[in-house]
Amino acid sequence: MRRSRSALIATFLGAVLLFGWTSPRAALPAAGALAPAFTLPDQSGKPRSLTEFRGKWVVLYFYPKDDTPGCTEEACKFRDDIFALEQMGAQVVGVSLDDSASHAQFAKKYGLPFPLLADPSGAVTRSYGALPEGSRYAQRYTFLIDPAGKVAKAYTSVETSRHSVEVIEDLKRLSRR
């Protein structure tokens, strides 16, 4: 018996609703666990490692694509709040699957004063659970990493217009511990 295209689509959607749909991805690093190590090139091609930021708070944010509306808003909010973040001993680091040349144009266009790391293979993004299997774009996730290199907080639901303020509030709270 041959089914129509619409019947096949309806069956598929029904299965998705009934059983749920999840994209395979690596698990998120747990709070209190050591953050996955990495070395990636920044927008100038310089290799940057998580270990170079040891002793500082790290705001490691993953984003889908350079110079798109949400990614630009998020990056510019971190740029606008950079002095407050630095006063709390925090280093902002962005990561996407774009290459260093794309990051260089993006950083220059918007005056971004922090490293943007290129992860074209997606290996680091995947190690943080921010890359669904088969996707060409990172999820908009942020990890707040403490000065000892441990994950203090993971943000998996990010509102770009207020995310930097949310991170600053959490840094204030976590720094008092």
- Report the sign of the C-alpha dihedral through residues 132, 138, 144, 148, in that order: positive
- Provide the token pair at 55: 């002793």
173: left (phi over 0), alpha (psi -120 to 50) or beta: alpha
Closest CA to 72 of 117, 103, 44: 103
Question: What Cα–Cα distance (Å) separates residue 36 from each residue in 15, 40, 102?
Answer: 35, 13, 25
Query: Is 71 part of the annotated catalytic residue set?
Result: yes
From 59, 71, 124, 138, the catalytic residue: 71
Query: Catalytic residues, which ones?
Result: 71
